[in-house]
Chain A
Amino acid sequence: MPSVCFYFQVHQPMRLRHYTVFDKNDYYFDDYKNASICRKVANKCYLPTNRLILDLINRFDGRFKVAYSITGVLLEQLLTFSPEVMSTFDALAETGCVEFLGETYYHSLSFLYSRNEFVEQVNKHSETINKYFGQTPRIFRNTELIYNNELATLIESTGKFDAIITEGADHILGYRSPNFVYKPKDCKHLKLLLKNYALSDDIAFRFSNRDWTQWPLTADKFAHWISDVNGNGNVVNLFMDYETFGEHQWEDTGIFDFMRHLPETVLRHPDNNFKTPSEVVESYQPVGIVDVPHVISWADIERDLSAWVGNAMQSNAIHELYRLEKKIKQTGNEKIISDWRKLQVSDHFYYMCTKYFADGDVHKYFNPYNSPYDSYINFMNVLGNLNSRCSKTSEKQAASLTPQQKATKRFMKAGSHINKPSELQPIHPGEPVNQE
């Protein structure tokens, strides 16, 4: 009896504004572009799809269930640009049929570069989800479904999650099917849910492709494929970008009608049901251990990291970014730390990808740049400014010392030749101290 487990990724990056090396202003984001894209996606996708999902949950009396993973950077934008979307997510949360997953607040690649930063971002995300939707995530998905054994061990060590989600890539599964629950290598309690990429991509990528032999895809046909899993799997994990509905696949492709009819056709078979990831984890025991020594992701044909760190520019940009971590955090300046974290959003590196001849369509989606080179230059200019702000802040901190501290400092600087108290100038608090 296969359970259908839907999980939708909901994310929009904060795009940078055009920023040249001559810019001195410390505001880096293109509010106009971010607002208009956020509102556009809200109107085409988030609002109508949330309404549809809510209808379906009500119509099937709680038998239809889904899960969302919403990034912190999107939540911030929704609050500012489209607050009405927040209330519809809230309404979904109240049905009890919707689960919210955990991830890095900034949709970052921090797991690969800084474990401390990674854990901080995961915690920040959990707190935020709890604040808005009253749930604490129990299932973790890493940015772009990036995964390896180490990630599983790290997530288990936090003790905050029951399972982790990743790509059901052929080269990690071999002959095995993604339609079971597995256990990550070296983990005691944590379970692993794997994306059924064939069936997921039928909806996410192939749905409107008229060259596809299965076009047009109807709810009946799809439900039939799901029922085929019967006896050969416990769960079909359908993981995809939420923008599939109305944005990647436009309304006129019939994607909403497909989704409207899918639950009834799936549930027509008495053995089928819908489950959230947490319910799947409770219902099924792991059937085996999956060993992933090398990093995988859900991107492109390669299922690797090449879309984000595949060329010299990407690698340089991301290493320069994380090299600043200590310096940034030492400033203790909330604004600087938050700007630095917003630069970690994986999309910034995706825009720098040069392998767009084969995978071009997806890479160009909402890409604010004309070329990967422009995006690298822009990013490095912003990073340069951020770096200079750190240095300035530490100077300012030095400048904001109390007169006594300054005097001590000056005394230390002046050297050991003034060592008799009588030679020291008296300093009265409140009196202006000459700048050095």
Chain B
Amino acid sequence: MKVFMLGWEFPPFISGGLGTACYGLTRAMDQLGMEVTFVLPKMVESSYATHVKLLSPNSWISSASFRLSEFKNVKFHAISSTLQPYTTPDSYRLQIEETLRQKQLSLGGGLSQAGQITCGDDYSTDMYSEVHRYAAVAVELAKTEHFDIVHAHDWMTYPAGIAVSAFTEKPLIVHVHSTEFDRSGENVNQTIYNIERQGMERASKVITVSHLTRSTVINRYGISGDKVEVVYNGVERNGNWSLAETGIKNDEKLVLFLGRITMQKGPEYFLHAAKKVLGVMDNVKFVMVGSGDMMHRSIEMAAELGIGHKVLFTGFLRGEDVQKIYQMADLYVMPSVSEPFGIAPLEALNNDVPVIISKQSGVSEVLTHALKVDFWDTDEIANKMIAVLKYPPLQETLASHGNFEVRKLRWKDAAAKCVKIYEETLVAV
């Protein structure tokens, strides 16, 4: 069976859980021997593109295909596009303007063509048009490929999935990692909602990352329950990280927030709880890792609460730095307002860091050895933070039992379940 997968960013260019999930799932499918054509949007640089075979370098389809050594059965296609996960129509516009400005600068400065970004007329200046342009390019690509099933991850790829599925008459699976309700609360963007619903309706099967999201799909998008399946995310158990010493001697406890700093992730609840913790104990630092549209607001808020000196903002961290921060952390807190799944707590437990997670998260369906709170209940969040920091037996028991528990959540199982869903879909067709 061959899969045409419309996915997202791969390491080291990971900006959130969506990329991690696509990577983990595809890697596990590769290990199961599935053949996957993995299509992703990417800003293709000319210098980079020369190292890989360009399918049609001079046409309006800028795309590059390549293979990665660690994947045996996966072929990658990067479609040159400015689409990125977690962008909003507004942030997209800003980003496009910036890209164009840079291009003009580099041309104006008479710089060499090397390193120049092959953009310009290729890109649409509003996100919805870009999503549809991406779909058209995906169809062109699909013409050259043979596959049995189309699998699309989150709304920006749904139009591409629908188009490819319609053109090739292969069944479509859409994979819901988050919905517009998670990202925007009740203030949903109608256009995005429409695209999401259309994708779910056209799909033969809808995969959600938790029962929480499954019920959103059924109740808010009117999708029939018998075509919505839950596949929990896994966690990569990577045994060969060199546990390099951070060299930082610190008798202060460290409480970690790691995720995009956006409304959805509840950073303000983290800060309010931090304030309460600091009223009881002093030897604690709070670290907020990540970036997002509420970052500046959060920095201000920490200052307003009078705990600015106790809260560190690191910005976005990648790879080894993330490992380091986990090794330094005593506790990970995820006070998400809305979280379809939430991979980060699994990674924290993987690094023996105990976790406090919001009850309003999909991951709380699969974790028993975690402390669970209502995201708005900052008294209770602080109460639990203090307990973990104050009582080593609690910290140890949570970490060791939790670590054992996440070992059972493997991408291999998630991939196997997807394959089963493919098979059922194909039989039904």
Contacts and interface: CB of A to CB of B under 8 A. Distances in A.
B394 to A, nearest CB: 6
A312 B387 contact: no
A20 B280 CA distance: 12
Given A315-B393, A371-B372, A377 B383 contact: yes
Interface in B376-397: 379-380, 382-384, 386-387, 390-391, 393-394, 396-397
Contacts of B371: 371, 373-374, 377
B387 A313 contact: no
A370 interface: yes
B75 interface: no
A398 interface: no
A21 B389 CA distance: 12
Given A20-B379, A20-B380, A380 B391 contact: yes
B396 A21 contact: no
Interface in B246-291: 276, 280
Interface centre among B386, B387, B398 (most CB of A within 10 A): B387
Contacts of B369: 354, 373
Contacts of A312: 393, 396-397
Contacts of B391: 313, 316, 376-377, 380
Contacts of A22: 276, 280, 379, 382-383
Please report whether the interface of chain A is mostly helix, strand, loop or mixed according to DSSP: helix
Contacts of B398: 373
Given A21-B383, A377-B387, A313 B394 contact: yes
A21 B393 contact: no
Contacts of A311: 393, 397
Contacts of A316: 391, 393
B276 to A, nearest CB: 7
Interface in A1-47: 20-22
Contacts of B379: 20, 22
B368 interface: yes
B384 A354 contact: no
A135 interface: no
A387 interface: no
Interface in B98-128: none
Interface residues of A, number: 17
Interface in A418-435: none
Interface string A304-325: 0000000111011000000000
A22 B383 CA distance: 7
Interface in A264-297: none
B401 interface: yes
A381 interface: yes
Nearest to A384: B390
A200 B323 CA distance: 54
A373 B383 CA distance: 12
A313 B390 CA distance: 12
Given A21-B280, A22-B276, A22-B379, A373 B394 contact: yes
Interface in B332-373: 368-369, 371-372
Contacts of B280: 21-22
Contacts of A377: 371, 383-384, 387, 391, 394
B352 to A, nearest CB: 14
Contacts of B382: 20-22
B377 to A, nearest CB: 10
A20 B393 contact: no
Given A20-B379, A371-B368, A371-B371, A381 B397 contact: no
A313 B380 contact: no
Given A312-B393, A313-B393, A373-B398, A21 B368 contact: no
A311 B391 CA distance: 14
B386 A21 contact: yes
Interface in B309-349: none
Interface string B384-420: 1011001101101110010000000000000000000
A20 B385 CA distance: 11
Nearest to A311: B397
Contacts of A373: 369, 371, 394, 397-398
Contacts of A370: 372
Given A21-B280, A22-B276, A373-B371, A313 B397 contact: yes
A374 B280 CA distance: 19
B365 to A, nearest CB: 14
A22 B387 CA distance: 11
Contacts of B384: 377
Given A22-B276, A22-B382, A354 B401 contact: yes
Interface string A210-231: 0000000000000000000000
A370 B398 CA distance: 14
B372 A380 contact: no
A25 to B, nearest CB: 14
Interface in A182-197: none
Nearest to B359: A370
Interface in A148-191: none
A21 B386 CA distance: 8
Given A22-B382, A370-B372, A371-B368, A381 B393 contact: no
B387 to A, nearest CB: 4
A23 B396 CA distance: 25
Nearest to A19: B383
Interface in A225-254: none
A21 B397 contact: no
A263 B199 CA distance: 69
A376 B387 CA distance: 9
Interface string A353-389: 0100000000000000011011011001100000000
A381 B372 contact: no
A134 B384 CA distance: 48
Contacts of A313: 391, 393-394, 397
A371 B405 CA distance: 15
A20 B391 CA distance: 14
A356 to B, nearest CB: 9
Nearest to A374: B371
Contacts of B396: 312
29 contacts: A20-B382, A20-B383, A21-B382, A21-B383, A21-B386, A21-B387, A22-B276, A22-B280, A22-B379, A22-B382, A22-B383, A311-B393, A311-B397, A312-B397, A313-B394, A315-B393, A316-B393, A371-B368, A373-B371, A373-B397, A373-B398, A374-B371, A376-B387, A376-B391, A376-B394, A377-B384, A377-B387, A377-B394, A380-B394
Interface of A: 20-22, 311-313, 315-316, 354, 370-371, 373-374, 376-377, 380-381
Given A316-B393, A374-B371, 14 more contacts: A20-B380, A20-B383, A22-B383, A312-B397, A313-B394, A371-B371, A373-B397, A376-B394, A377-B371, A377-B383, A377-B387, A377-B391, A380-B394, A381-B383
